[in-house]
């Protein structure tokens, strides 16, 4: 077995080991993919495209539908009540993969036995020959007292729905007759975390047409985004950050630099560096970590307890076990920079993972993964976005339209409208 030579750039001194792990017996070639988000669905799709038989591909997810997680900040789409079905998910039994014959198993993966090559869910023990870990990430609360219990989040479908319902209730609550103030006070929403998720959520809540979404007269809303210990939109190009800051301020969002949360109790948030606040709603957008299942495996872990992978996206020291997307930790073999935890990176990893799975099965060439950023776009409310493509920063409705077209294209692929 040989590795493809790099297609561009040179390997840095910090390159992870290029040596292929020991030989591996693929037996029947049954591929079990754990997690049907961007990484898992795209890997299955790429295996099919490469002619791998659908009957040998199995996909497991705890949810009945795949989640378009990049859109969970649009909580207005779930406003109104539990019966509202937001367009953030699509049932696995209707995705193009299952129509093509990929077998979907619904169930939470409770245990993975790497030695026995077996995965356990509440209803079955599923054997595998090759495994794909694409379980995504979950919110990280860093042990901050009361934070998990007293906050909302938009990292999961359940979290986004819960936030939408609480917000709907607050916005439509009749005024308190004992409140003597002439002006109805706004619903105060405090968002901790000034990364892309916190910023997109803040701008959406500040600008969503709540009156028409809820079909009622609604209270005004006041949104504050705290950058937390990291700078506002840390890691993104400076010009994009400046422009996004201006746009979200225009959307009515107050951006506060700092605000390191040290404890949360019902209705009150305290900080290391700011006076306490008492918002109506507190949303935690402060960080993510890999699910406990990853840490339960005998594998090397990287930052945020993600599984460390080789440049071939194989879990270090475990031939035939692949990890990609948010639950994998990897330094780009060409420039040593961490591959980001984004849908974009997951979708770029999937074809390489599929090719390397087939390399394990067929003894063909392996491919090294190299992340090529295609740009970043931050939604800033009212259908607008601020985007950086290469060195260019653009904003407004055009950027917003491009962002939503990228999402629509992905929806179409999942549904099978696009090949
Ligand atoms: C609000 C928001 C906005 C974002 N915007 C962008 C953006 O604009 N661009 C971008 O590139 N990225 C964006 N991201 C990041 C992006 O959503 C993630 O990087 C992406 O979802 C990672 O894909 P994944 O397949 O690794 O994980 P996921 O999409 O999270 O999929 C993981 C899957 O695993 C399943 N699962 C987890 N545990 C188990 C278990 N034990 N058993 C069975 N199934 C399990 C889950 O149900 C889920 O279906 C955003 C994220 C958020 C929250």
- For residues 232 and 280, membership in a common domain is answered with yes
Is 414 inside any structural domain? no
| Ligand 1: nearest atom to the Cα of 344 | 11
For residue 70, how far is its CA from the centre of ligand 1 (angstroms)? 7
As a whole number of angstroms, the distance between CA 133 and CA 314 comes to 10
Q: Are residues 120 and 45 in the same domain?
A: yes
Same domain, 113 and 234: no
Say whether both 239 and 327 belong to one domain: no
Are 122 and 170 in a shared domain? no
pLDDT of residue 9: 33
Query: Taking the model in full, what pTM does it have?
Result: 0.93
179 in the same domain as 271: yes
The reply to whether 167 and 229 lie within a common domain is: yes
Do residue 183 and residue 268 come from a single domain?
yes
Q: In this structure, is residue 112 part of a structural domain?
A: yes
Burial 275-290 (b: 16+ CB within 10 A, else e): eebebbbbbbbbbbbb
CATH number at residue 346: 3.50.50.60
CB atoms within 10 A of CB 195: 21
Q: From the CB of 72, is ligand 1 less than 6 Å away? A: yes
If you measure from the C-alpha of residue 68 to the centroid of ligand 1, how many angstroms do you get, rounded to a whole number? 8
Q: What is the pLDDT of residue 340?
A: 95
When divided into structural domains, the chain yields a total of: 2
The answer as to whether 35 is a domain residue is yes
SS3 of residue 240 by DSSP: helix
Residue 254 lies in a domain: yes
268, part of any domain: yes
**Residue 127 within any structural domain of the chain:** yes
Are 297 and 229 in the same domain? no
Residue 393, exposed/middle/buried by CB under 10 A (0-12, 13-18, 19+)? buried
Instruction: Calculate how far, in angstroms, residue 197's C-alpha sits from the geometric centre of ligand 1.
Output: 12
- DSSP summary character for residue 89: E
Determine the atom of ligand 1 nearest the C-alpha atom of 293. Answer: 41
What is the distance in A from the centroid of ligand 1 to the CA of 69? Answer: 5
Whether the CB of 135 sits within 6 Å of ligand 1: yes
Looking at 256, 287, 318, the residue that finishes a domain is 287
Closest CA to 368 of 301, 307, 314: 314
Long-range contacts, 168-171 (Cβ 8 Å, 24+): 168/79, 168/80, 168/81, 168/214, 170/219, 170/280, 170/281, 171/210, 171/214, 171/218, 171/219, 171/221
Query: Is any atom of ligand 1 closer than 6 Å to the C-beta of 69?
Result: yes
Within a domain: 393: no
* Residue 114 · residue 297 · CB < 8 Å: yes
Q: Are residues 303 and 277 in the same domain?
A: no
Q: pLDDT 10s per residue in the chain (419 long)? A: 444 433 333 333 334 444 555 578 989 999 999 999 999 999 999 999 999 999 999 999 999 999 999 999 999 999 987 888 889 999 999 999 999 999 999 999 999 999 999 999 999 999 999 999 999 999 999 999 999 999 999 999 999 999 999 999 999 998 777 777 767 889 999 999 999 999 999 999 999 999 999 987 899 999 999 999 999 999 999 999 999 999 999 999 999 999 999 999 999 999 999 999 999 999 999 999 999 999 999 999 999 999 999 999 999 999 999 999 999 999 999 999 999 999 999 999 999 999 999 999 999 999 999 999 999 999 999 999 999 988 899 999 999 999 999 999 999 999 986 54
Residue 403's H or E segment, with its range, is: helix 397-415
The span from the CA of 328 to the CA of 309, in Å, is: 7
Q: Is the same domain home to 129 and 238? A: no
Q: Are residues 277 and 310 in the same domain?
A: no
- Domain extent, residue 322, equals 31-62+107-137+290-374
CA of 149 to the centre of ligand 1 (A): 22
How far apart are alpha carbons 129 and 320 in whole angstroms? 7
Position 146 in a domain: no
Query: Are 188 and 282 contacting, i.e. CB atoms less than 8 angstroms apart?
Result: no
Residue from 47, 148, 16, 144 nearest 354 by CA: 47
Give the separation between CA 419 and CA 415, rounded to whole angstroms.
Answer: 10
What token pair was written down for 164?
């939408």
């Amino acid at each position: 077995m040989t590795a493809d030579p790099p297609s561009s750039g040179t390997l840095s001194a910090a390159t992870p080991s290029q040596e292929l792990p020991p030989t591996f017996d693929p037996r029947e070639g049954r591929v079990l993919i754990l997690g049907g988000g961007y990484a898992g669905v795209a890997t299955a799709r790429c295996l099919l495209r490469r002619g791998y038989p659908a009957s040998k591909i199995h996909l497991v997810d705890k949810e009945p539908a795949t989640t378009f997680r990049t859109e969970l900040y649009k909580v207005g789409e779930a406003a109104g009540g539990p019966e509202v079905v937001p367009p953030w998910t699509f049932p696995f039994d209707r995705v193009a993969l299952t129509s093509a014959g990929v077998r979907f198993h619904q169930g939470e993966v409770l245990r993975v036995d790497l030695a026995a090559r077996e995965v356990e869910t509440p209803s079955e023990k599923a054997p595998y020959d090759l495994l794909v870990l694409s379980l995504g990430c979950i919110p990280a609360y860093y042990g901050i007292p009361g934070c998990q219990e007293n906050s909302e989040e938009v990292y999961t479908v359940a979290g986004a729905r819960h936030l939408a319902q609480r917000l709907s209730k607050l916005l439509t609550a009749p005024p308190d007759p004992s409140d003597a103030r002439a002006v109805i006070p706004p619903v105060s929403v405090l968002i901790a975390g000034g990364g892309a998720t916190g910023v997109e959520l803040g701008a959406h809540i500040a600008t969503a047409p709540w009156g028409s979404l809820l079909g009622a007269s609604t209270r005004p809303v006041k949104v504050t985004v705290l950058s937390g210990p990291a700078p506002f939109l840390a890691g993104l190009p400076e010009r994009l950050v400046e422009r996004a800051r201006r746009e979200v301020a225009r959307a009515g969002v107050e951006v506060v630099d700092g605000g390191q949360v040290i404890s949360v109790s019902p209705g009150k948030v305290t900080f290391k560096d700011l006076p306490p606040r008492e918002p109506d709603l507190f949303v935690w957008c402060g960080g993510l970590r890999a699910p406990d299942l990853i840490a339960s495996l005998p594998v090397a872990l990287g930052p945020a307890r993600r599984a460390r992978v080789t440049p071939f996206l194989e879990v270090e020291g475990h031939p035939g076990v692949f990890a990609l997307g948010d639950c994998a930790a990897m330094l780009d073999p060409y420039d040593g920079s961490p591959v980001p935890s984004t849908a974009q990176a997951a979708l770029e990893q999937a074809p390489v993972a599929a090719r390397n799975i087939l390399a394990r099965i067929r003894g063909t060439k392996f491919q090294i993964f190299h992340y090529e950023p295609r740009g970043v776009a931050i939604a800033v409310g009212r259908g607008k976005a601020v985007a950086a493509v290469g060195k260019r920063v653009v904003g407004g409705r055009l950027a917003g339209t491009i962002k939503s077209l990228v999402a629509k294209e992905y929806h179409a692929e999942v549904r099978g409208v696009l090949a």
